[in-house]
Amino acid sequence: FNANGVDLNRNWKTRNFAKRNHWYFGNKFVPVNCGDTPFSEPESKGLSDYIAGNEIEIVYSFHSRGKEVMGSKDELAQKLTEDFVEKSGFRYVGEDEWLEINQTGTIKDWCEEQGLSYIEIESSSRWGSDWDNQRTALISAIKYHYA
């Protein structure tokens, strides 16, 4: 969330943008403010402009808490997501499970609509570092992509 109380991951210009959504925690839904309009927040607008204005092929988005990995539907993202899961021990979240949580206006959806590969990595905790678990997976992804 930014200083305006907007969840920046749900402030993207997508076909499914909604002003309000939720976070899903186990069996609880927590309401969140997604902004009045897509890209109403300078942080999400600035990042989208940067991605669109450069030759970005794949976006890695690091989030906190879940120890999970999900990717866009394209072949590259799925290969890198599977490799990340194998090397990190994080849980794979497939497209069906992603659709079940009904998130709207996310950077994942935006990347897919732009034809960009996307991988989302949910760390194992809000405050700790996962570098020891993620290092091998990230190095492998970089080597694969630039080989």
Q: Residue 3 in 3-state DSSP?
A: coil
Instruction: Give pTM, 2 decimals.
Output: 0.88
C-alpha to C-alpha distance for 40 and 143, rounded to whole angstroms:
36
Give the per-residue pLDDT at 144. 80
Longest dimension (CA), the chain: 43
C-alpha to C-alpha distance for 96 and 123, rounded to whole angstroms:
21
Give the per-residue pLDDT at 121. 92
Give the per-residue pLDDT at 142. 82
Give the per-residue pLDDT at 146. 73
Give the per-residue pLDDT at 74. 93
Q: Which positions of the chain have pLDDT values less than 70?
A: 25-26, 147
Give the per-residue pLDDT at 82. 93
C-alpha pair distances (Å), 2 with each of 7, 52, 109 = 7, 22, 20
